[in-house]
């Protein structure tokens, strides 16, 4: 059963990784989908716009519980189409290229491939691409003051969920260019789970000139994602954090184990998670693993294994799992 549980964790983690960007963009919003934006909210919107429109290059480090990665990110627009490159600077050469809505991955030992998307998911923190008008309904944007990062004066803003059920961010925004120069992902106790920190950067049209070669590069073939069939489940969640909506659902079988799994993917536009249900004869009850921002929480009820996987504190994952209800069978 341990092997099966690990397989579930890997599959659902991959689901979240692969769908992170579109999930955030497409999560349906309730009526009155935006709230009045405060001054810190306007600053965050300016940060998002600058990150998508300027020609710039970042040299930065990404710090997490798994270690420290050194990376370089370039971005420019050609005829309103985004062109970008993310390059891992240490160890094996890992490169991700963006040309318009094509994202191509190059990694040693793997066949290069291309996916559709509007940005490179691993490049900048997800907070950069958020819809702050929608988030303002459920998060507070708190000005913290000014300080220096990379020898630049920055405005500091904290992003906190009002219901206290999710992680938060502190973002350092360059006062002149409005680009993000640092972002800390914090748990509910204020402990840093991840950090994005720019070491040096340049904003210059020359970055556009360096990226022009991408226009003629032959990219790997585009992988098509199968269109998911509309499926009905005999279960639902009775509680979700404020602002969270279902993005997609699927029914699939784990390779080599032949166990069907039903999954619903949820997002609030900033953090994503999935709820997964499969048959089980295991006598163990609840267990969980937390690695940085990722929590995997499992409980067994009525011969059903309920697994919540995603960017959630363990207590929130448990509350969601406890809220799952099954329809009475006829």
Return the CATH number at 112. 2.50.20.10
Rounded Cα–Cα distance for residues 52 and 129 (Å):
9
DSSP 222: B
Predicted pLDDT of residue 327: 87
Q: Given this model, what pLDDT does residue 141 score?
A: 97
Domain that holds residue 7: 1-27+244-330
pLDDT at residue 32 in the model: 44
DSSP-derived pairing of the beta strands 304-310 and 294-301: antiparallel
Domain contains 233? no
> What pLDDT score was predicted for residue 282?
76
Question: Could you tell me if 173 and 43 lie in one domain?
Answer: yes
Clarify whether residues 59 and 155 are in a common domain.
Answer: yes
Are residues 251 and 192 part of one domain?
Answer: no
Q: What phi and psi values does residue 322 have, to the nearest 5 degrees? A: -65, -25
Return the closest-CA partner of residue 320 out of 274, 268, 269. Answer: 274
Contact 321, 175 (CB under 8 A): no
**Both 278 and 181 in a single domain?**
no
Q: Are residues 173 and 274 in the same domain?
A: no
Backbone angles phi, psi at 96, to 5 degrees: -125, 130
* Tens-level pLDDT at each residue, the chain (330 residues): 444 444 444 444 444 433 343 333 334 444 445 666 779 999 999 999 999 999 999 999 999 988 999 999 999 999 899 999 999 999 999 999 999 999 999 999 999 999 999 999 888 999 999 999 999 999 999 999 999 999 999 999 999 999 999 999 999 999 999 999 999 999 988 999 999 999 999 999 999 998 988 888 899 999 877 666 678 999 999 999 999 999 999 998 876 777 889 999 999 999 999 999 999 877 677 788 998 899 999 999 888 999 999 999 999 999 999 999 998 765
Give the end of a domain, one of 216, 233, 252.
Answer: 216
Report the half-sphere exposure of 140 (CA within 13 A, side-chain side): 8
Nearest to 144 by CA among 40, 232, 234: 40
User: How many structural domains comprise the chain?
Assistant: 2
Neighbours of 75 (CB within 10 A): 26
69 and 110 within one domain: yes
207 and 260 inside one domain: no
The verdict on 62 and 23 lying in the same domain is no
Same domain, 46 and 160: yes
Same domain, 62 and 172: yes
Instruction: Indicate if 310 and 275 belong to the same structural domain.
Output: yes
Under 8 Å between Cβ of 47 and 128 = yes
The size of the chain, in residues, is 330
- C-beta of residue 119 within 8 angstroms of C-beta of residue 75: no
The pLDDT of residue 118: 93
Listed in sequence order, the residues at least 6 apart from 137 whose beta carbon sits closer than 8 Å to its beta carbon are 32, 33, 34, 35, 242, 243
Q: What are the φ/ψ torsions at residue 247 (nearest 5 degrees)?
A: -100, -45
- 77 and 211 both lie in a single domain: yes
């Amino acid at each position: 059963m341990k092997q099966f549980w690990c397989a579930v964790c890997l599959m659902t983690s991959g689901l979240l990784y692969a769908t992170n960007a579109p999930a955030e963009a497409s999560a349906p919003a309730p009526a009155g989908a935006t709230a009045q934006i405060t001054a810190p909210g306007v600053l965050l919107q300016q940060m998002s716009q600058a990150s998508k429109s300027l020609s710039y290059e970042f040299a930065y480090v990404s710090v997490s519980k798994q270690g420290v990665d050194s990376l370089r990110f370039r971005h420019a627009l050609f005829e309103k189409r985004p062109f970008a490159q993310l390059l891992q600077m240490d160890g094996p050469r890992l490169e991700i290229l963006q040309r318009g809505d094509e994202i191509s991955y190059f990694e040693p030992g793997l066949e290069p491939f291309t996916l559709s998307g509007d940005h490179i998911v691993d490049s900048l923190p997800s907070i950069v691409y958020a819809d702050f008008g929608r988030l303002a309904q459920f998060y507070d944007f708190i000005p913290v003051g000014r300080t220096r990062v990379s020898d630049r004066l920055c405005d500091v803003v904290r992003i906190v969920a009002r219901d206290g059920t999710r992680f938060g961010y502190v973002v350092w925004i360059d006062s002149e260019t409005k680009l993000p120069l640092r972002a800390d992902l914090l748990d509910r106790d204020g402990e840093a789970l991840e950090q994005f920190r720019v070491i040096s950067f340049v904003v210059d049209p020359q970055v556009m000139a360096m990226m022009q070669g991408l226009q003629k590069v032959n990219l790997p073939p585009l992988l098509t994602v199968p269109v998911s069939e509309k499926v009905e489940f005999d279960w639902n969640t009775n509680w979700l954090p404020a602002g969270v909506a279902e993005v997609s659902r699927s029914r699939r079988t784990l390779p080599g184990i032949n166990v069907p799994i039903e999954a619903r993917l949820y997002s609030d536009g900033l953090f994503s998670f999935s709820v997964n249900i499969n048959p089980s004869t295991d006598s163990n009850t609840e267990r969980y693993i937390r690695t940085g921002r990722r929590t995997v929480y499992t409980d067994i009820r009525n011969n059903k294994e309920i697994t919540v996987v995603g960017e959630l504190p363990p207590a929130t994952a448990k509350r969601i799992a406890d809220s799952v209800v099954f329809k009475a069978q006829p």
